[in-house]
């Protein structure tokens, strides 16, 4: 029986504090961007939420793929539970990134949405992992479900960079954060806020995935107990 470990509680507390710090920095602490209209100056602050969310969704799906490979290699259920927990979080962060992006886009580009390659890839990624969960819900046998979703997660994640590659060969209006010619496009005060934000979101993801994984394991144990009792 897995009790919530001390370590996880401490980690959760640290994550909570860090998120609060980032929120303060993002909304007030970080310096204003230079050379934008007033609306856009406020909107620019979304970078502290939007980019970490996007990064985390990619990380979460990568973790899902690694855990899926782990499951196929070992056939141990915990790997599958971890893969599923991470995929769930990935889905949430993808949605968060897309929604925050749209909120930023309205003042900046004057449209809520555009079929820019990066956004398109994002939508596809979202669909890939919705399909992952649809596959899981359409199967009853746990072992088979785990195997099939593991195989699918591998295909799905590997297709993302290839879809991403299309960006190179399309014109894009999405701001490029890391331009090899100009370096990072952020001022020094903003850099600190940005990296703190990135770190706290990553910690948030780790905490959330561990909690979710723990929940999933408990749920499986309950199911096993139920079966043993004859429900």
Partner 1 sequence: MSFWKAVTAIIWKDIRAELRTKDIFSSMFVFALLSVIVFNFAFELRVPDMKMVAPGIIWVAVAFSGTLGLNRAFVIEQDKGSLAGLLLAPVDRAAIYFGKMLGNLVFIFIVEIILLPLVMIFFNLSLLTWQHLLVLFLGTYGFAAVGTVFSAMAVNTRAREVMLPILLFPVLLPVLVAGVKMTGSLLDGEALSEAANWLRLVAIYDIGFTVVAYLTFGFVVEE
Q: Which value, in Å, is the radius of gyration of the alpha carbons in the chain?
A: 20
Q: Is 156 in the site for partner 1 (CB under 8 A)?
A: yes
Query: How many other CB atoms are found less than 10 A from the CB of residue 108?
Result: 18
Residues in the chain: 231
Figure out which of the listed residues 1, 28, 138, 178 binds partner 1, where binding follows CB under 8 A: 138
Site for partner 1 in 193-222 (CB under 8 A): none
- CA atoms of 139 and 150, how far apart (whole Å): 13
Figure out which of the listed residues 16, 21, 66, 124 binds partner 1, where binding follows CB under 8 A: 124
Q: Which residues of 67-101 are buried (b: 16+ CB within 10 A; e: fewer)?
A: bbbbbbeeeeeebbbbbbbbbbbbbbbbebbbebb
212 is written with which tokens? 């979710």
Q: Is 127 in the site for partner 1 (CB under 8 A)?
A: yes
Query: Which span sits near partner 1 by CB under 8 A: 33-41, 52-60, 81-89, 156-164?
Result: 156-164
Figure out which of the listed residues 16, 72, 92, 198 binds partner 1, where binding follows CB under 8 A: 72
Site residues (vs partner 1, CB under 8 A) = 72, 124, 127-128, 131, 134-135, 138-140, 144, 147-148, 150-152, 154-156, 158-159, 162-163, 165-166, 168-169
């Amino acid at each position: 029986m897995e009790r919530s470990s001390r370590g996880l509680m401490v980690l959760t507390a640290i994550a909570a504090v860090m998120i609060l710090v980032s929120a303060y920095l993002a909304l007030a602490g970080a310096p204003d961007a230079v050379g934008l209209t007033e609306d856009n100056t406020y909107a620019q602050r979304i970078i502290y939420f939007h980019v970490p969310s996007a990064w985390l969704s990619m990380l979460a799906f990568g973790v899902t793929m690694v855990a899926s490979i782990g499951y196929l290699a070992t056939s141990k259920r915990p790997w599958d539970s971890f893969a599923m927990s991470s995929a769930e979080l990935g889905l949430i962060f993808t949605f968060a990134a897309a929604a925050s992006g749209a909120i930023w886009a309205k003042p900046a580009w004057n449209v809520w949405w555009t079929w820019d390659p990066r956004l398109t890839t994002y939508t596809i990624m979202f669909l890939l992992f919705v399909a992952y969960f649809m596959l899981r819900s359409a199967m009853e046998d746990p072992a088979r479900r785990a195997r099939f979703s593991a195989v699918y997660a591998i295909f799905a994640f590997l297709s993302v960079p290839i879809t991403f590659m299309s960006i190179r060969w399309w014109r894009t209006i999405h701001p490029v954060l890391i331009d090899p010619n100009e370096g990072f496009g952020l001022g020094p005060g903003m850099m600190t806020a940005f990296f703190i934000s990135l770190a706290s979101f990553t910690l948030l993801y780790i905490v959330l995935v561990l909690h979710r994984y723990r929940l999933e394991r408990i749920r499986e144990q309950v199911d096993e107990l139920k079966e043993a009792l004859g429900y």
